Amino acid sequence: MADARRPHRSFLAPMTRIAALFAALGPAVGWMIFVPLYLVLKPEVAPDAIGLLVLIAAVFRHVAGLSAAYVVGTGPAAATAFLYALWDAAAPARWPRALVAGVIGGLIAYGLALFLAPYIASVEADPGSRPAERIDPALLDRIEARLSLAFVACGAVAGFVCAAAANLIGFTMRPEYAAPPGEDA
């Protein structure tokens, strides 16, 4: 008698492909939209903040910023991919996948921002130094809030874009769209 069950499908192989796509694409997408998004959200530039903005621009040039995006963003992108793969496997056929990946990416970026906040605050300039005396503390708070908002928005957009790319390529956990048996083993 023939076995009428569906063939066994590995969870690890498709999830690994999805995680690799998210880890490779997510930080790059997040960095590409971070700078324009921050410029849209930036506070008005006061003369006392020009030195700070020049310092930030000097530290985070494109290559250094992209490297930092991969250092900081690969882990959250892989975590987003894992949660997205679970959602993709469990969600009914018509439910949104890329939109949920955007929400997951935003929540993970928010959690990472909360986790990194004390470390970033400890790196700030010594209050007794001369440049710190010329920078308004309220301006620094507004800059930090907008940086955090831009960071979370970039995580959400990167999650959405990665999930859309995974769907276009055919990286899915749904059995109805799975590759024939033997291809993903």
- The predicted model scores a pTM of 0.70
Task: Convert the pLDDT of each residue in 87-100 to its tens digit.
Answer: 988 888 788 889 99
| Token output for 64 | 């250094």
The predicted pLDDT at position 100 comes to 93
Give the span between the Cα atoms of 153 and 120, in whole angstroms. Answer: 19
The predicted pLDDT at position 132 comes to 45
The predicted pLDDT at position 36 comes to 73
What is the residue-wise DSSP string for the chain? ----SPPP--SHHHHHHHHHHHHHHHHHHHHHHHHHHHHHHPPPPPGGGHHHHHHHHHHS-HHHHHHHHHHHHHHHHHHHHHHHHHHHHHS-TTS-SHHHHHHHHHHHHHHHHHHHHHHHHHHSPPTTSHHHHHS-HHHHHHHHHHHHHHHHHHHHHHHHHHHHHHHHHT----GGGPPPTTS--
Residues whose CB is less than 8 angstroms from the CB of residue 116 and which lie 6 or more positions away in sequence, other chains included = 72
Q: Give CA 42 to chain center in angstroms.
A: 20
Give the span between the Cα atoms of 118 and 63, in whole angstroms. Answer: 25
> Contact, 101 vs 18, CB < 8 A?
no
Residue that has been written with the tokens 């890329």 in this structure: 98
The predicted pLDDT at position 2 comes to 47
CA angle, 62 then 98 then 19, to 5°: 65
Residue ranges for the chain with pLDDT beneath 50: 1-3, 125, 129-135, 184-185
The predicted pLDDT at position 137 comes to 57
> Contact, 22 vs 78, CB < 8 A?
yes
